[in-house]
Each structure stands twice: as C-alpha cells, then as structure tokens.
Amino acid sequence: MKALSISGSPRKNGNTARILSEIEQGLKDQGYKTKHITLPESNIKYCQGEKSCSKTGICIHDDDVAMIVDEIYSSQLVVIASPSYWGDVTAQMKTFIDRCIPYCGNNSKKTIKTNETKGAAVAVRAGKSKAENENLVKTIEHFLGHLEIPLVSSFTVEGIDAAEDLEKRPHVLKEAYSFGKSLAANCS
C-alpha cells in the first residue's frame, strides 16, 4: 500500500511538514510506503485558462503536474495538506489545483484512474477557531471530488504559528501520528 502526502506550505520544516511527518510515520507503522511532495519546491506553472485541455485532456504546460497526478492515482491514499493563508489553502496549493482541470471527470484522457485512491485533508492555522480550517478542508474536498477521489477523513490544527508553538503542544504530534494510523485502517 502506498500513501502520498502533498504539502502546500513554503516552510520546508514548518508546522505542516512536521505534522505530515507524524501522519506519515503512523502510516508507515501500519505497513504503508510513503512519498512526500512539497508543492513550493515543484515546477508548477499557472493555469492560463485557455481550456484546450477540456478537449484534449492535455495541458499546454509541460512541468511537474502530470507526474504528481500520476503519483496520486498510483497511491491508495493521498493526504493533501496546507496551512491557512487568508482563510484558504496557500497560493502554491491553489495553483496546483487550478492545473488539474485536465483530470476532472470526463476531461481525463491521459491518466488512467484506478478508482482505488482515497483522500484525506490536513489544515493548519495560527488562529484558534476550527471554522476557518473547515474552509480549507472544503476546498480540498471539492478538488478531490473532481478527481473522483473520496475524502475519507480530515485533521485540523489550530493555534499554531511559530515552530515553537508545536513543540509546546506535543499532544498535537501524537494526535497526528494516531490520525496516520487511523487513515491506514480507513483505507484498507
């Protein structure tokens, strides 16, 4: 079983990365092979909105998006994670989502969908209320829905801004690890 985690955070060793690493460990301990992709380190150009991909199933850009989508569909589980930037996913995550029009529903001609992939959402924010993170989860669920991937679970963390905030709340890391383990059970 293979799990892919995709992070939209530009902070390489930031909170999202730390939380994802615990989730990945939980999955590994349940026998999953894990792979991690950081979108801000990937080559992803902006969608130009000219929509030839709706007919051809092929984007005008040749960059990392097709490879990432192939990785998604060859995994049993994809974990999509982002910190909140202005109440939604980061620009890097949104840029990736925009580029997935060729893989929406009937548009998809290039990628072989296995119908085996399930999805999970992770949202991290500085503010205290969970409602804003639910907004990120909705964005991720909407995206996965168009890729015909069901969202099986989500994990949100509030009140985390600087790296020290997370170290002061080790129970959050333990919950992230348990979430990873529970995802393995959800997807088997």
Ligand X SMILES: Cc1cc2nc3c(=O)[nH]c(=O)nc-3n(C[C@H](O)[C@H](O)[C@H](O)COP(=O)(O)O)c2cc1C
Using CB under 6 A as the binding rule, whether residue 160 contacts ligand X is answered as yes
User: For the CA atoms of 11, 70, 150, 43, what is the dihedral angle to 10 degrees?
Assistant: 30
> Shortest distance, CB of residue 174 to ligand X, whole angstroms?
18
At a CB cut-off of 8 Å and minimum separation 6, what does 43 contact?
Answer: 63, 64
Residue of 3, 5, 16, 154 interacting with ligand X (CB under 6 A): 16
Strand partners, 186: none
Residue of 49, 86, 106, 171 interacting with ligand X (CB under 6 A): 86
Nearest-angstrom CA–CA distance, 74 and 113: 8
Between the two ends of the chain, the Cα-to-Cα distance in Å is 9
Nearest-angstrom CA–CA distance, 43 and 36: 15
Cβ-based nearer residue to ligand X, 27 or 81: 81
Cβ-based nearer residue to ligand X, 37 or 126: 126
Q: Which of residues 66-85 bind ligand X (CB under 6 A)?
A: 83-85
Q: Please work out the total of residues on this chain that contact ligand X, with binding judged by CB under 6 A.
A: 17
Query: Which residues make up the interface to ligand X (CB under 6 A)?
Result: 9, 11, 14-16, 83-87, 124-127, 132, 160-161
